[in-house]
């Protein structure tokens, strides 16, 4: 083995760090708001969804690739937390102050929970995708794409 081969074999691997990449600043709040509205987190113009919960492949305006997003189950968990924090205190307040019959409570709380969950699921998923883009998570970083 030559001296140059030993030098190359003993050289430390190049490690990517956030400081080594010069990248444009991405606003988390604007990306979150754009995603909440179902718009592209980068330009705010193109649609984020092609169906109720299906994220489009790319933005029709700026061409941002949405395929790296990994929202998975986080939007559903966040919706459960949000709806739970709205419905449960309301149910406890009504139960302690008025004590309506159980059939009346179920006829109010179950549909309310279902409607709130369905109304919040798409905006929350869009916000999660927007935050992932703003924080350069899951392949949204052009400087260091995932393999």
Q: Report the C-alpha dihedral over residues 36, 38, 41, 46, rounded to 10 degrees.
A: -160
56 phi and psi, to 5 degrees? -65, 165
Give mean pLDDT, residues 69-89.
96
Residue 120: how many CB atoms within 10 A of its CB?
19
Q: For residue 16, what are the CA distances in angstroms to 7, 8, 12, 24, 133?
A: 21, 19, 12, 17, 19
pLDDT tens digits along 9-48: 565 666 666 555 556 789 999 999 999 999 999 999 999 9
Q: What is the reported pLDDT for 141?
A: 78
Residue 146 has pLDDT above 90, yes or no: no
């Amino acid at each position: 083995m030559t001296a140059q081969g030993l030098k190359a074999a003993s050289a430390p691997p190049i490690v990517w760090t956030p400081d080594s990449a010069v990248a444009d600043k991405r606003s988390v709040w604007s990306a979150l708001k754009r995603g909440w509205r179902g718009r592209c987190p980068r330009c705010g113009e193109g649609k984020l969804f092609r169906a109720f919960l299906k994220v489009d492949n790319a933005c029709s305006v700026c061409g941002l690739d949405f395929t790296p997003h990994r929202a998975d189950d986080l939007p559903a968990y966040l919706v459960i937390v949000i709806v739970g924090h709205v419905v449960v205190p309301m149910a406890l307040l009504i139960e302690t102050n008025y004590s309506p019959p159980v059939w009346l409570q179920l006829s109010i709380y179950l549909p309310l929970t279902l409607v709130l969950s369905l109304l919040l699921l798409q905006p929350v998923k869009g916000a999660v995708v927007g935050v992932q883009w703003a924080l350069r998570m899951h392949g949204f970083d052009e400087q260091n794409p995932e393999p």
